[in-house]
Amino acid sequence: MIELTQTHSRRAEQMAALSEIALELGGPQYDLDRLLDLITRRAISLLDADGGGVWLPVTADEIELTVVYDGGPGQMRGRRLKRGEGMAGKCFAAGQTFRVDDYRHWPGHNRTFGDSTFHALLNVPMAWHGQVVGVLALMHSQPGKLFSDEDERLAQLFASQAAAAVANAQFHRAARLELEERKRAEAALREREELLTRILDTVADGIYLVDRQGRMTFANSAAEKTFGVTREQLTRFSYNDPTWKITTPDGEPFPEEEQPFARVTRTGQPVYGIEQAFEHGDGTRLIVSINASPLHDANGKVIGEVASLNDITERRRAEQNLRESEARYRLLAENSTDLIARHDPDGSFLYVSPACRTLLGYEPDEMVGRSVAEFCHPDDLEEIRRARSAVLRQLDMYTFTYRFRRKNGEFAWLEATSRGVRNNGTRIVSEIVSVSRDITRRKQAEKQLRESEAKNRALLEALPDAIMLLSSNGAILDYKPAKQTAGNGHAGPTTSPQVIETIMRQAKQAQLTGETQVVEYQTRSEGGQLRDREARIVASGEDQILVVMRDITDRKNVDRMKNEFVSTVSHELRTPLTSIRGSLGLIVGGVTGDIPPQAKSLVEIAYKNSERLVLLINDILDIEKIESGKMIFHFKPLELAPLIEQAIEVNRGYAAQFGVQLALEPATTGIQVNGDSDRLTQVLTNLLSNACKFSPRDSTVQVSVAPHADNIRIAVRDHGPGIPDEFRSRIFQKFAQADSSDTRQKGGTGLGLSISKAIVEKHGGQIGFATAKGVGTTLYFDLPEWRTAPPPAAPVTARARILVCEDDADIATLLRMMLEQGGFVIDTARTAAQAKELLAANNYDGMTLDLQLPDQDGISLTRELREQERTRNLPIVVVSVTAENGKAELNGDAFRMVDWIEKPIDQRRLIAAVSEAVTRYNDHKPRFLHVEDDPDVLEVVSTILDQVAEVERVPNLRAAQQRLAEQNFDLIILDLNLPDGSGLELLPMLRDHAATPVVIFSAEEVGRDIAQQVAAALVKSRTSNEKLLETIKAFVKNGG
């Protein structure tokens, strides 16, 4: 009774639970997986089963175990069975419930669940509206626990409720999957459309679609540009929209019936290559070529068209340009004086311009179709073949010369330039275009030039002179040696730097004036003989100098003999001439009383001519003195203005004879030069007398003095006829006169200007002239200005020795010349290694340094020098193109750089910097050599000069020669009477030290010839200590 009660109570609970489950399953369960999970768990709970699962159909003939819980074989999830296979398959196929108490006895159970541990199994079909949608499987794993009939009915009720829920969920799932698939398809379609659009947008041609009504439904980017509106705007327009105007390419209205859309719609056939012009409102015009094809529906009916637009605007413009260009080129070819021709690759003429008529005598038709070889000179056939081969090998251009037979049988020289014309898209030459010019006259001129050059070369070879061609920087470009004669010594080009420098200075004058410059110099022959040379310098264009060098030793010897003869004769003439002139003067002065007028006239004539003869003899003697080096000059600082005024006053009487006035233009006072007043007066007298003779009466000769560049210019200007062109190059030569008749008309010997030139050059100056025909002549001379006040920079120690470190030979030479002009002794190093060797062997007062040396940069060299005791305080002036960069790199280092000078070099700044370096930084005294055998005198002089210099003493001539060979000195004090000879024997040796002052300090006086060769000559007995010290200090202060 109790058991029955319990059974009814359990059933009641199960029914109540089933009702709740029905409510739960009846809700909106759209997630099938969650629903199956819920069904399985509720069924297990409802029937108190140990496990359970749900089988669902997955294919037309298979079911799958999708959910397994609790005691069920979890590893079997996903197991599939054929419909009708196993208990679940049979249940699904038959739609019937299957129940077993011990599944292990079920046939074929191992194929379904393998070695599962459950025993009782209940499979209930889940049917909805008569169709099985799944199988509910429940199981007991405990032996003896079985499913009852009541459990089976309950399970069937539960399965029917679950089937409705599953069917509903499957329906929603299918709908959702169908929706998702539709969305994916739509997305794929959009992607394909976008891809197609992007692809079409990359196409250069415009592509558009038109529907049946003519509305545009699609257009790519190129079409947008062609139509001039956006894609969205295009879809609102029809093909013939008034936004653009459609015409023919020539601008005519385009027929409506011939529009591509109209033709395709009417015929149903595609159209190709229809050319139209689109004219937009903004003035742009495009020409397009249109291809169009019809679009059909499934029934073959035309529903629209697809069309492509190819923008051929540039092509049509190019075609038009080509037509115009061809017309221009044809016009050019038809009117060109050059022969223009086209050939095929074999050389046959395809076209010949009309120029062939005048150049060759042929009509164009007479040459077309014939080969070039038919007209070519036999000797030039190979050149023709070579030119054709070069062009066919696709060389861009080939120029050659050949001879072409004219119609009259003569040959004309032609210069042809040929170029190949290639086929489109290939490198194959289809024809050759050539332009030929008649160069017969040029060839004849070249032949004449070669013959002329051969003649000139023969003449040059026959000349005894050496000829040298120099560049503007002094480099030897070409050289023809002189004919070798006994003792002339011209075996090779002159390489002496001093000679080249002299030539280059005169070359600048030649380039400025256009006149030949003459330089005389001396060299030693191979035998050691001293030879006199003359160089005639001619400017050859702007960049070259022609120098003709001649050995004038024999001529000089003859001149010397002549001068000696003239001097002797002149001296012998002076004595009787003095008596004659004196006697005639006395007679003219009335000492002898009155004489008859006729006799008096004759005596006056004789007296005047004796005066002229005296002047002639004086001029001849002056020339002889100048040429022999015997003319004595007494140089001293003198003011120019009083000197010029005195010369004008002395010559006023002479000027009055010609009716000419002399005037001095207002001049700056205080201008001084270092000169000989008598000799400068002689120059002024010559210039004034020359100006007076050639001035018209009642005119004024004007004299001026003023600074000019770095010198003082004294100029004498007349208003005469000017100097004839042919005389200008000889004006300063001896006995030179513009015309032989001048001797009679104007008087004079023709020596005055030659003497003036020599005197001015002895003063370190230059003489010149400026003239204009019919206007007048200005004769001038420039002299260095004498400055008594010291320059702004501190005075340079006498003969300061400077090392120039520069790898460029031209710059090194330029620096040396600049610094030598500043009074320095210069050594040159081309590399850092050479500089170190010279610095180790010699004492230097300063150094110029290029920062870019071939073996070491200047910065590291400077650091190295500053680490050595010997060169730690050496003043350095940087002269370099990278001076500013080097200055920045050394910023902050105590390297004691005096200045940083960028190239190109400012000479004034360079000399100022080096002068500052020597005077400010050098603390060593100048070095003197005292050559004296008297020890007492040596001691006294050393004591006197102790504060001025370091004095090295040697007692004899031999010791002095040895020290001078080993060392440079700033000054030499020389006694004449030495134990082993005269001190004068040192003077020839000291010519190599020309810038070193020599002070003779001896017991005997010296003559003027000796005094001219030294800086000072002091007599011991007449020289006080103060005088000696003053003299020495003067040379130290003024640098020699």
**What is the number of H-type helices and E-type strands within the chain?**
30, 41
CB 353 within 8 A of CB 341: yes
Of 237-241, 371-375, 762-766, 857-861, which gets the smallest average pLDDT?
Answer: 237-241
pLDDT of 123 > 90? The answer is: yes
Give yes or no: residues 372 and 507 share one domain: no
pLDDT in tens, 894-951: 344 555 555 445 556 666 666 655 654 455 567 788 888 888 777 767 777 766 677 8
151 and 117 housed in the same domain: yes
Asked if residues 938 and 930 have their Cβ atoms less than 8 Å apart, the reply is yes
Residue 936 lies in a domain: yes
Question: Among residues 690, 837, 884, 845, which one has the least CA distance to residue 777?
Answer: 690
- What is the per-residue pLDDT for 1026? 58
Same domain for 769 and 657: yes
CATH value at residue 107: 3.30.450.40
Rounded CA gap, 505 and 1012, in Å? Answer: 26
- Band of residue 796 on the pLDDT scale cut at 50, 70, 90: very low
pLDDT tens for each residue of 24-69: 655 555 677 888 888 888 888 888 898 899 999 988 889 888 877 7
Looking at the structure, do residues 940 and 892 belong to the same domain, yes or no?
no
Q: 3-class SS at 402? A: strand
Residues sharing a CB contact under 8 Å with residue 776, sequence separation 6 or more, in sequence order? 717, 718, 719, 720, 722
Please report whether residue 50 resides in a domain.
yes
Question: Residue 795: inside a domain, yes or no?
Answer: no
Which among 405, 397, 381 is positioned nearest to 435, based on CA atoms? 397
Long-range contacts: 60-67, Cβ < 8 Å, 24+?
Answer: 63/88, 63/89, 63/92, 63/134, 63/135, 65/137, 66/36, 67/36, 67/37, 67/39, 67/40
In CATH, what number is assigned to the domain containing residue 380? Answer: 3.30.450.20
- Position 261 scores a pLDDT of 82
Asked if residue 990 and residue 847 are part of one domain, the reply reads no
How far apart CA 6 and CA 24 sit, in angstroms, is 27
Q: What is the pLDDT of residue 782?
A: 92
Q: Which one, of 444, 453, 497, lies nearest residue 475 by Cα?
A: 497
Q: Which residue has the higher pLDDT, 864 or 487?
A: 864
More confidently predicted of 242 and 316: 316
- 101 vs 993, more confident: 101
Q: Are residues 15 and 122 in the same domain?
A: yes
Which phi and psi (to 5°) does residue 301 adopt? -85, 135
Identify which has the larger pLDDT, 1000 or 542. 1000
Q: Quick check: is 687 in a domain?
A: yes
What does the pLDDT read at residue 704?
92
Torsion of the alpha carbons at 314, 316, 321 and 327, rounded to the nearest 10: 170
Q: Tell me the Cα Rg of the chain.
A: 61
**What's the pLDDT at 903?**
44
What are the tens digits of pLDDT across the range 743-791?
445 556 677 888 888 888 888 889 999 888 888 999 999 998 886 534 4
Q: Which of 516, 551, 586 is the last residue of a domain?
A: 551
Question: Which pLDDT score is estimated for 793?
Answer: 41
Q: What is the pLDDT of residue 363?
A: 92
- In this structure, the answer to whether residues 155 and 110 fall within a common structural domain is yes
The confidence score (pLDDT) of residue 427 equals 74
Region at 533 (left for phi over 0; alpha for psi -120 to 50; beta for the rest): beta
Per-residue three-class SS string for 522-582: EEECCCCCEEEEEEEEEEECCCEEEEEEEECHHHHHHHHHHHHHHHHHHHHHHHHHHHHHH
104 with 142, same domain? yes
- Provide the pLDDT for residue 491: 43
Average pLDDT over residues 543-550: 84
Range of the domain at 846: 801-921
> Is 15's pLDDT higher than 70?
no
> Phi, psi (5° rounding) for residue 658?
-105, 5
Rounded to an integer, the average pLDDT of 736-747 is: 53
The pLDDT value recorded for residue 36 is: 84
* CA angle (971 as vertex; 968, 974 as ends), nearest 5: 110
Is the pLDDT score of 498 beyond 50?
yes
- Residue 1035: what pLDDT? 62
Tens of pLDDT, residues 948-977: 677 888 888 888 888 887 777 778 888 888
- Structure-block tokens of residue 1009: 């010839």
For all residues of the chain together, what is the average pLDDT?
Answer: 78
Assess if residue 325 is contained within a domain: no
Buried b (16+ CB within 10 A) or exposed e, 141-169: beeeeebeeebbebbbbbbebbbbbbbbb
Report percent pLDDT > 90 for the chain: 9
Give the pLDDT of residue 897: 54
User: Pick the residue with more confidence: 453 or 374?
Assistant: 374
- Going across the sheet that includes 80-82, the strands are 80-82, 62-70, 51-57, 131-140, 120-128, 98-100
Model confidence over 1013-1037: pLDDT tens digits?
Answer: 666 666 544 455 556 666 666 665 5
With respect to residue 449, please indicate whether it lies within any of the assigned structural domains: no
Is the same domain home to 636 and 609? no
Cβ burial 871-907 (10 Å sphere, 16+ → b, else e): beebbbbbbbebbeebbeebeeeebebbbbbbeeeee
Q: What is the pLDDT of residue 405?
A: 93
Instruction: Please report whether residue 561 resides in a domain.
Output: yes
Among 784, 812, 842, the domain boundary falls at: 784
- Give the neighbor-by-neighbor strand order of the sheet with 1016-1019: 950-954, 927-931, 971-974, 998-1002, 1016-1019
pLDDT at 740: 45
498 plus 409 within the same structural domain: no
Model-level pTM greater than 0.85? Answer: no
Q: Are residues 681 and 748 in the same domain?
A: yes
pLDDT tens column, 803-846: 999 888 877 887 888 788 778 888 999 999 999 999 988 888 88
Residue 627 domain-assigned (yes or no): no
SS3 state at 849: strand
Average pLDDT over residues 583-601: 75
Percent pLDDT > 70 in the chain is 76
Is the pLDDT assigned to residue 344 strictly greater than 80? yes
pLDDT tens figures, 69-83: 764 445 567 888 888
Tell me the per-residue pLDDT of 239-272, one tens digit each, with 9 for 90 and over.
666 567 888 888 888 888 888 888 888 888 998 9
CATH code of residue 722: 3.30.565.10
Q: Is 995 a residue whose pLDDT tops 70?
A: no
Evaluate if residue 862 carries a pLDDT over 80: yes
Q: What is the CATH number for 932? A: 3.40.50.2300
Residue 894, pLDDT score = 35
Residues 522 and 582 in one domain: no
| Mean pLDDT confidence for 467-479 | 81
The span from the CA of 735 to the CA of 765, in Å, is 22
Per-residue model confidence as pLDDT tens digits over 21-34 = 655 655 555 677 88
Considering its fold, how many domains does the chain have in total? Answer: 8
Mark which of 285, 317, 349 sits at the end of a domain.
Answer: 317
